[in-house]
A and B are shown apart, each in its own frame.
Chain A
Amino acid sequence: MSEAGAPVLDPIHQFHVKVLAPLHVFGVNASFTNAALFMVIAALAVVVVMLIGTSGRSIVPSRLQAAAEAFYEFSQDMVRQTAGEDGMRFFPLVFTLFMFILACNVIGLWPYTFEVMAQIFVTATFAFSIILMVVGFGIYKHGLHWFNVFKPSGVSVFMLPFIVPIEVLSFISRPVTLSVRLFANILAGHIMLVVFGGFVVMLLGAGAYALLAPLPLAGIVLLTAFEGLVAVLQAYVFAILTCVYLVDALHPGH
């Protein structure tokens, strides 16, 4: 949500990427944008909680350290329950993903900030990297046996020509659904917030109808609470699906 009070109420406006510092490396556009700025802010927020908060290493934790430990134990349980004890080698990755997406989403909810996860390129980069890692690690660990992931056990040979293409298709669709789920949820929520904000402004400028202006305002309050839920939930869903997909890299047999 940004600049909701601008005279021109454009709900898409908030997603515009702005170049803050133009930079080209070897002819590639590597400009520092507002998206990159908010990635830095989110990463710094995670660093504040996880590194500065735990610098005391105290047995009786401070508030920040207690929060860091809660995040740690929550993610640890999540990875252990979905991916098992073998999956704990991916715990740092899943943890960093969860914390980074969570920080981006929560920070992006504040007015005048930029929502990084409403950029399809960002979520798609995450999703495709994860799937490539699943394939790469699976083949590294199990060799060509890994491709058994596409052959469910206990299926008769005559069914295989039908089942295998379906399995391949569902595997290929994973990065797409993973990235679009996060992107679309966050994007839609932020658009809704600005649209409702626009209703308030329009009603205030419409004479007697100004009396109705508090209604969409109350709607914004409810929506903001709901978007807070979505921000946390989508980070959690992304992390837990990452765990689920990583299981395929570890144990290709169904």
Chain B
Amino acid sequence: MASQAAEGQVAGTEVPASNAHADVFPPFDTNYFAPQIIWLAIIFGLLYLLMSKIALPRIAGILSSRRNAVDDDLAAAAQAQFDASQAATAHEKTLATAKARAQALGQQAHAEATQAAGARRGQLEADLAARLADAEKQIGEKKSAAMANVESIAIEATHAIMRQLTGKPVEAGAVANAVAAAKA
């Protein structure tokens, strides 16, 4: 209203309106009572209809569908977690079983190996003992044979010694008797 007014002068463009109500505080200017209320009722009424019929039900729908989606996702996640823990338990059980079986197998193999080794050692020992006995027997035989030879050698040696000492042959029987006597 006073936008074009020079200082101290009254605006020229809206003189009738502004002068008529210059002394009224503008918000209390009853001339605008009716237009304010009429337009407020129209605009606020339309806005109320748009909000209550379209906007608010739509947002309620968005919020509830989001809540459902979140709830579904959470339920799915909980289910997946449950499944995973189940799988982990099953896996651990399988692992424990396999471990136990492996241990049993190992122990069995160990026992079998020990047994086989023992058996083989026994066999070898028996074999060795047999061969040892055989060898001892042979030694005994050889020893007795050698001892038999020793007698004839002693007789011959005695013959030779006697012939050298006496210068005449000695009777064979006497020498043999003497050797046998000495031997005894």
Give the interface of A toward B (CB within 8 A). Answer: 3, 6-8, 10, 12-13, 15-19, 25, 28-33, 35-36, 39-40, 43, 46-47, 50-51, 54, 57-59, 61, 65, 68-69, 72-73, 91-93, 95-96, 99-100, 118-122, 125-126, 183, 187
Contacts and interface: CB of A to CB of B under 8 A. Distances in A.
B36 A121 contact: yes
A147 to B, nearest CB: 29
Contacts of A65: 62
B7 A120 contact: no
B51 interface: yes
**Which DSSP category, helix, strand, loop or mixed, fits chain B's interface?**
helix
Interface of B: 1-3, 5-7, 17-18, 25-29, 31-41, 43-44, 46-48, 50-52, 54-56, 58-63, 65-66, 69
B51 A3 contact: no
**Which DSSP category, helix, strand, loop or mixed, fits chain A's interface?**
helix
A6 B39 CA distance: 29
Nearest to A35: B36
15 contacts: A16-B1, A36-B35, A36-B40, A39-B43, A43-B46, A50-B50, A54-B62, A57-B62, A68-B59, A91-B56, A92-B56, A96-B47, A96-B48, A121-B32, A125-B36
A121 B33 contact: yes
A2 B59 CA distance: 36
A125 B40 contact: yes
B58 A57 contact: yes
Contacts of B55: 50-51, 54, 68
A13 B18 CA distance: 11
B47 A46 contact: yes
A17 B36 contact: yes
Contact of B47 (A8, A30, A100): A100
A69 to B, nearest CB: 6
